[in-house]
Amino acid sequence: MAVSTTWVFAEASEGKVATITLELLTKARALGGTVEAFYGGGDADTIAEQLGKFGATKVYAADAGDALQGAPVAAAMAAQIEGGNKPDLIMFGQTYDGRDVAGRLSAKLDRPALTNGVDVSADDKVTVQNAIFGGNTLVQTAFDGDGPFLALFRPKSFAAEEGGGGAAEVVAVDVPDTGLSGQTKVLDRHVEETTGPKLDEAEVVVSGGRGLGSAEKYEMIEQLAKLLKGAPGASRAIVDAGWVPYAYQVGQTGKVVKPNVYIAAGISGATQHLVGMKGAKNIIAINKDKDAPIFSIADLGIVGDVHKVIPKLLEALQAKG
Amino acid sequence: MQTLMNVVVCAKQIPDPAAPGELDPNTKTLKREGKLILDDSDAYGVEMGLQLADKAGGGEVTLVSMAPNSEVSGLRTALAMGAAKAILVSDPALQGTDSLATAKVLAAAIKRAEPDLVLTATESTDGYTGLLPAQLAEILGWPSITFAKHIEVSDGTAKVQRQTEEGYDEVEAPLPAIVSVTAGVVEPRYPSFKGIMAAKNKPVDEVKVADLGLSEDEVGWKGARQEIVDVSPAEERQAGEIVEDEGDAHERVVQFLEQLKVI
C-alpha cells in the first residue's frame, strides 16, 4: 500500500465542517490507512465529532488565531513533519485557505504540490488525476520520490459519505513563530446575505454571460433563478467586466457546480466555463449563435435571443404560479 | 515628504486562451508556441498597481515575468498601460517549470526590484494552480493576502477585502506583502496610442536563471519532481435536442423543466 497515513486539511465555518473537507475525508478513507485531519481554526472541539464520522481518527488543532491560516497552519504542519509525525499524503481542497496553506507548505518543505485534482489513487505510486481543456482530457500525474505528497482537489470531486467512526481525538499542536509571514490580521468578517440557496449547493443554477449585453440585464437571470428556487451564476466574461461579483463565477477560476438543472443564458461555453458546470445532470442552453460550443453539451439547446426567450419564460413561469 | 509606492506586478504571457489548447506529445505539457499575450487576469494587478502608485503620489509599477524564449509581446501591453519597466527572466532552462520553481525564480527577481507591494492574479489562465502567491510569500518570508477585491495602502500597511465563501474578510498586513487580486475589481485601462509608442522604449531587463543565483536543476523538468504518466480523453457529453426559437421556444423549456419535476 502506497499510503499508511493521510492528512486532510480541514475547513469549517461556525462549527460546521465544510463539504469539501467531508469529501476529502471520504476519499482518504478509501485509500486505506489512517486518516487524520489538520485544522487551523480555534474551535476544534466543536467539529471533532463530524470529522470522526467521516473517518478522521485524530484532528491536529493548530490555532491560527486572528491571522490568515496560510502561514501559521503551514508552519505547524511542517513542524510536525520535521518532528517525525509524517503522513504520506496531505489532501487540500482547492479553496481560498487550502491554496494558501498548501502553497506555503510546498515552499517550506521544498516539495511540489499537484493542483486541481479530481481523483487520486495510491497503488505503486500516488497518482493524481485532473481534467484539462474544459474537461475533455484527463491527465494522470504521479509524484516522484517519498512523501509527504501535497495535492489539492476541486470541490465535488468525491461524494461525502459517513464511515461511522467516533469523535476524532483532538490533539493541540504548536504554531511556531512565523515572523513577518504570519503578520496578517483579520479585522472583521462580512457575511453577505443571500436569499436563495448557495451557488454550489443549489439544485438549479441559472447563469448569465456576455450575451446578456449589459449589466442591467443580469436581473433577468436573478429573477429566473428565484422562480426556480435556484441560485444565479455567471461566466468569467461578465465577472471580469465587473457586472457581478467574483463569488458568482462558475468555471475553472470560480465555483464547480453539479446541480440537477443548469441553465446557461448568453454563454458561449468557453472551456474555462465548461469545467465548472459540465457535471450538471441536465443542461439547458440559450444562445443566439447556433455554433456556440455550449450546444455540444446541452441536453436542450435553444437557438435564440436571450432578450426574447427569457422574458417569455419568466412570464410563463409566473403564470403557472 | 512624499511616500513612494513601488509595486511589482507578476505578469504572465500565455497562449491566446480563445485558441484551443494542445499538449506537446513528448513532454505532455501545454504547448506554448506562437504568439503569447498578457494573461487577462494580470491586467487587474497592473491597473491596481498603477492606481495605488498614483494614490500614493509617486512610485512606479515594475513587471516581473519569466519565459523560456525572450518573449515580450505581452509585457509590452502592460508597459503600454503604464508600467515603468520589466524584469524578464528568460532562459531555455525554464521550459517545463512548475509553480514552486516559478515562485523561486520570481522571488529572486522581485528581490532585485525591492518593492513595497507585490501584486499577482489569483491564478493564471493557462496553468491555474493558484499556488504561486503563497509560495512566493513563503520564499520571501512576507505576509500574503490572497483573493483581494479591494486594496488600500496607508502608513506601511495594506488593508484588503478578501473574498470568502460567505462574503469577505477585512484583513491587514504590514508591507512589503504579496496580494493576489481577483478579476473584475478594477477596470484595466486601454493602452493609449501614446502609451503604446512609449512602451516600445521602456526598459526590459533580461536575466538568466544563473544570474539570480539559482541552479538550473531547480527549475524546468528536473525541478518539477512529478511525472505525467497518462493522458486520455474524458467521456464526452453528447449534444441533445436543438430548438430554433420562432417565438415559442420558451414553451419547450417549461415542458423540459416539468419533465424534470423542477416546476
Distance from CA of A189 to the nearest CA of B (A): 4
Domain contains B2: no
Of A76, A153, A168, A24, which is closest to residue A7 (Cα–Cα)?
Answer: A24
Tell me whether residues B100 and A110 touch, CB distance under 8 A. yes
Domain count, chain B: 1
B19 confidence band (pLDDT: 50, 70, 90): confident
Which chain B residue has the Cα nearest residue A280?
A: B237
Which chain A residue has the Cα nearest residue B97?
A: A112
* Distance (Å, whole) CA A294 – CA A155: 22
**For residue B128, is it left (φ>0), alpha (ψ between -120 and 50) or beta?**
left
Q: Beta-strand (E) ranges in chain B?
A: 7-10, 13-15, 36-38, 61-67, 85-90, 117-121, 144-154, 157-163, 167-174, 177-181, 204-207, 226-233, 241-244
C-beta of residue A314 within 8 angstroms of C-beta of residue A220: yes
Q: Express each pLDDT in B174-225 by its tens digit.
A: 999 999 999 888 999 999 999 999 999 999 999 999 999 999 999 998 888 8
Q: Express each pLDDT in A132-154 by its tens digit.
A: 887 788 999 999 888 899 999 99
* Distance (Å, whole) CA A156 – CA A179: 36
Overall CATH class of domain A5-182: alpha beta
Q: Angle at which helices A306-320 and B249-259 pack, to 10 degrees? A: 50
Q: What is the largest CA-CA distance in chain B?
A: 70
pLDDT of residue A125: 92
Of B44, B224, B79, which is closest to residue A141 (Cα–Cα)?
Answer: B224
Among A119-123, A218-222, B68-72, which is the least confidently predicted range?
B68-72
**Cβ of residue B253 closer than 8 Å to a chain A Cβ:** yes
Asked if pLDDT for residue A254 goes beyond 70, the answer is yes
Domain contains B135: yes
Tell me whether residues A99 and B145 touch, CB distance under 8 A. no
* Distance (Å, whole) CA A313 – CA A142: 49
Tell me whether residues B172 and A185 touch, CB distance under 8 A. yes
C-beta of residue A284 within 8 angstroms of C-beta of residue B253: yes
Which chain A residue has the Cα nearest residue B182?
A: A246
Give the torsion sign (CA, A169, A174, A179, A184).
positive
At a CB cut-off of 8 Å and minimum separation 6, what does B54 contact? none
A1 confidence band (pLDDT: 50, 70, 90): low
The partner residue sitting opposite A140, judged by closest CB among B164, B229, B253, is B229
Instruction: Assign a CATH topology to domain A204-320.
Output: Rossmann fold (3.40.50)
Domains A5-182 and A204-320 share a fold: yes
Chain-centroid distance, C-alpha B143: 19
All three cell numbers of B123, joined, read: 491564478
B1 confidence band (pLDDT: 50, 70, 90): very low
Provide the residue ranges of all domains of chain A, joining segments of one domain with +: 5-182, 204-320
Asked if pLDDT for residue B2 goes beyond 70, the answer is no
Whole-number average pLDDT of chain B: 93
Distance from CA of A85 to the nearest CA of B (A): 22
pLDDT of residue B69: 86
Outline where A182-285 has alpha helix (H). 218-227, 236-240, 271-277
Asked if pLDDT for residue A321 goes beyond 80, the answer is no
Identify the CATH number of the domain in which residue B194 sits.
3.40.50.620
* Distance (Å, whole) CA B62 – CA B109: 11
DSSP state of B53: H
Q: Express each pLDDT in B144-170 by its tens digit.
A: 999 999 999 999 999 999 999 888 999
Domain contains B203: yes
Which residues in chain A are contacts of B144 at CB distance < 8 A? 68, 70-71, 100, 181, 184
Asked if pLDDT for residue A275 goes beyond 90, the answer is no
**Cβ of residue B131 closer than 8 Å to a chain A Cβ:** yes
Domain contains B176: yes
Domain contains B68: yes
The partner residue sitting opposite A180, judged by closest CB among B129, B141, B149, is B141
**What's the domain range around B136?**
7-224
Radius of gyration of chain A (CA): 21
Query: What's the average model confidence in pLDDT over A162-191?
Result: 95
All three cell numbers of B78, joined, read: 502592460
Tell me whether residues A184 and B123 touch, CB distance under 8 A. no
